Structure 1
């Protein structure tokens, strides 16, 4: 349960948190260097330094580093941050250790909106997908929350999970019907649906940053009340926690973070599952130290996996969504085999 054990000193928990943050920053630094040097077109370290310190728009190598690889790494950091936080928040809210952004129908809502945008509005640019995917994620999340509270009571974790699963199955059927009936939509949609950081310009990152900032702030504010809710609803009420408000605020944070990540990079799996488990294993279940640890581990995990996907089959590249599934899957399996790692 997400309440620190009595014999754990706060200083010890904070020490673990800072150790995780420092370790994650080290991984990010190493992955960033590797990501700048490697790829389908390797670039010498001296050229990378020159591109960063004295950019020359007429040099093709400088253009690759500054216009392609740096934005890709920056977007990977933001998307990893969002996915990790979403996983932690949804797992805490539903008390389900296997919860991920898809449990509330967020990925399905974003995917359906992108299908509609491609097929019936004529949107074919990645920057245009962002707003449609974000709107679809938000609308579906609201519908799931309303369905989860249809009895008049506050939405319970079980009802939210069931409503999300039902909506996901229904929307997935509609998406399949649209894709099978229109080859043009399928051709455009498949590049977004596979999940990728490649080809996203700074405009995509700029569009989602305000939502990411608000979502991160809400996640940090929710740490203490989510700790209390881990004891059960009755205990949380006894401690003065307004359960309905906490669940609604958590849902808002999840929509903003998951909507931003899915809109910017498409549906990417395993980061939202693995990052909270890894952070929980290293720092313990107290959300006051767990959430900052997730904010460090999520970006490190996604950027490192993305770079590994470029190195494994060089000079070709694995799409980010494929790389996280292939490389992150075994890591997550190893994590969940530990009983301590899945305890909430």
Structure 2
């Protein structure tokens, strides 16, 4: 197998807000991304860069690729293996170190998924249906009909978190209800059968929300994102098509000028500068000058990441081996947890 160089990471400072502090005690974090397409700049500045920082500061990082959960809002998981490998390439390129982080696929850890059965006995259908994320997914579902898997989604996420006894889960505020239900499941299990699971805490991200090129939330499903793996030319084309406004003087005013301010913020994040300083530097250059500056900032910042990704992509056998090794580690953890669950419940092994 070809030896692939260990990735390096140069995240740079964040000009707005501060990254969540690393806990003083030894914590285990569970987080991940659904394999529905390539990661984009919103993922990078919103979560991925901070994951690498936490990993480098000694937090035990578990990264789940929830391939089963792709089916919650669609009838078919298209190009699934390609998307899984693409996620791992993005992780490696950003600086995730498989020697210090456990990267695994949901479907490859049977003991994790077996936890779903006792967990479902601890929550009501009404509690599952009230979850705002489930409501939103149902409203925007790509399925011909809403499946039962959709309603079990919060309990499945609880299994993802609790199988490895994660103590911290990085989320945005819109995902806090998931964590509350996970805490409820852990608490009810412990009360009914005895102490097995910690009640995980929320690690709220203070990273700014990046808008897509159409002015709405950047999303893989909305075709408005700039993928980390995008070429410089593709990046330039996408930024040229980004929504702005008619005012020539560039300013950073997120409430009054969200689209222009979003582009200013993107350049600032890439350069590690204050967005007001970036806006002042462009002055009355207008949207054209703004987009040129953003394009240069993004392509310069992502150039090392893209080079690392391209190097890893030359040896997909290495990438698949990393996934297998992560799956093996996750399985060992899941089997140990399931043994504790069986013992607590008094079931046969």
| Shorter-chain TM-score tier | under 0.3
Q: TM-score, normalised by structure 1?
A: 0.24
Query: Greater strand percent: which structure?
Result: 2
Q: TM-score, normalised by structure 2?
A: 0.23
Q: Select the structure of larger CA radius of gyration.
A: 2
Query: Greater helix percent: which structure?
Result: 1
